[in-house]
Amino acid sequence: MIMQASKVSHPFIGKGKKIESMVRKALFDFSLLDEVKSLAVALSGGKDSICLILMLKAIIGKGFKKVNLSAIHIDGDFSCGASFEKKFLQSFCDEINVKLYFKEQKNSLKNFNCYTCSRKRRGLIFNIAKENDIDTIAFGHHREDNIETLLLNLFHIGDFEAMLPKIKFQKFDKTIIRPLIYVSEKDIITFAKQNEILKTFCKCPLGQKSKRVDVKKIIKDIEREFPNIKSNLSKASFLYGSKKALSCK
């Protein structure tokens, strides 16, 4: 079993309390819920998306307006959620009273890469959202995802730009938000351990050989000499690298 939601009580304590505070700050700073009517979490079953949906379930309607909350899971042979059967995620969502939408994705290793896989999965999520009148999708990208994207863009195309906390996709008439954008992966890992959230293993054959993994190693090496590198890159991403994000308010 992934976990028992009943074991995660609100108000949170320890890291849960800290994460909730940072999620609330992101929701406020970037007006992430202002125009939302129906919100779905892209739920892989990993620590990040599980943490996110628990936080949103606790926060929505308490200091922020009440919106309909659901979850979307895209199953696939190589995805990080592939180690879970549908019944486990369904049981979890039932326990927290969140509707789960489930879609299978068939992948072939022929011409398989991270970019095309990501676009295909996002397209499937948008299709489910359209079919069910969901206007906004929340993704579990955290601080480290943000700064890794910043460096990848800098190294590959010379742009100092990170992830956007909020972005509107005009083609699909859908909005993506990232409420965990301030939260460190370390805090999420601690929260997961404290609440017995099962660790998932990525089944993607390219997952451990990607450029993002290389950037993780670079950051880790730099961190030995500059311990504040992650928080400083995160701060810089909002001050200088995400002007479009700030204009999304």
For the stretch 137-168, pLDDT in tens is 999 999 999 999 999 999 998 989 999 999 99
Residue 246 confidence (pLDDT): 47
Q: Which residue, 61, 64, 78, 71, is CA-closest to 102?
A: 71
- The pLDDT assigned to 118 comes to 78
pLDDT class of 63 with cuts at 50, 70, 90: very high
Residues in the chain: 249
How far, in Å, CA of 12 to CA of 61, rounded?
16
**pTM exceeds 0.85 for this model:** yes
Band of pLDDT at residue 24, cut at 50, 70 and 90: very high
pLDDT tens, position by position, 180-198: 999 999 999 999 999 888 6
Residue 247's pLDDT band (boundaries 50, 70, 90)?
Answer: very low
The pLDDT value given to residue 78: 54
State the SS3 of 108-152: CCCCCCHHHHHHHHHHHHHHHHHHCCCCEEECCCCHHHHHHHHHH
The tokens describing 37, both together, are 């009517």
The residue ranges of DSSP E strands in the chain, in sequence order, are: 38-42, 68-76, 99-105, 136-138, 166-169, 174-177
Give all domains of the chain, ordered by start, each with its CATH number.
Answer: 5-246 (3.40.50.620)
Rounded distance, CA 94 to CA 37, Å?
21
Q: How confident is residue 120, by pLDDT bands cut at 50, 70 and 90?
A: confident
Looking at residue 64, its amino acid is F
Q: What is the pLDDT of residue 249?
A: 41
Residue 132 has pLDDT above 90, yes or no: yes
With cut-offs at 50, 70 and 90, classify the pLDDT of residue 79: low
Burial of 195 (0-12, 13-18, 19+ CB in 10 A): buried
Instruction: For residue 205, say if its preceding peptide bond is cis, omega within 30 degrees of 0.
Output: no
- Predicted pLDDT at 58: 96
C-alpha dist (Å) from residue 11 to 19, 99, 140: 12, 22, 21
pLDDT tens profile 80-93: 555 566 788 999 99
